[in-house]
Amino acid sequence: MGVSYGIILTNNLDTPEIKKTYYAQLFVNALWPIIFFSLKLRFLALIWLLLLLGLVIRMIYLFYQQKKVAGLLQIPYLLWLLFATYLNLFIWLLNR
C-alpha cells in the first residue's frame, strides 16, 4: 500500500479523492482486527471486510488511472483481502 501510494505522491498525482480513499481504507483496515479478534463480532467483521474490499477496489481504480504500476501493485493486497474474507466467512458460519 505504502509503496504504491508513494509512487502517486512522488509523481504529484494525488488528488483529494485519492487521499480520501487511501486514508479511508487504512482506517477501515486498522479497525478490522479489533472487530474480529477483540470484540469477536465475526459477522460485523465480515461486513467490515466487504466495505474494505470496496474501498480497495476503488483505490486500485483511482491509482491505475494515474499511474498503472501504482494500481497493479495493489493486486496482492486485494487477493489477501479476498482470502481474509473467505476465512472470516467460514469462521463465522462454523461458529454461529
- DSSP string of 53-68, one letter each residue: HHHHHHHHHHHHHH-H
Burial of 64 per CB tally in 10 Å (0-12, 13-18, 19+) = middle
Cell representation of residue 39: 470484540
Determine if the pTM surpasses 0.75. yes
pLDDT digit string, tens, across residues 39-96: 999 999 999 999 999 999 999 999 999 999 999 999 999 999 999 999 999 999 999 9
pLDDT of residue 68: 98
Q: At what angle do helices 42-66 and 16-33 cross, to 10 degrees?
A: 150
- Residue 18 CB partners (closer than 8 Å, separation 6+): 8, 59, 62, 63, 66
CA 24 – CA 76 distance, rounded (Å): 19
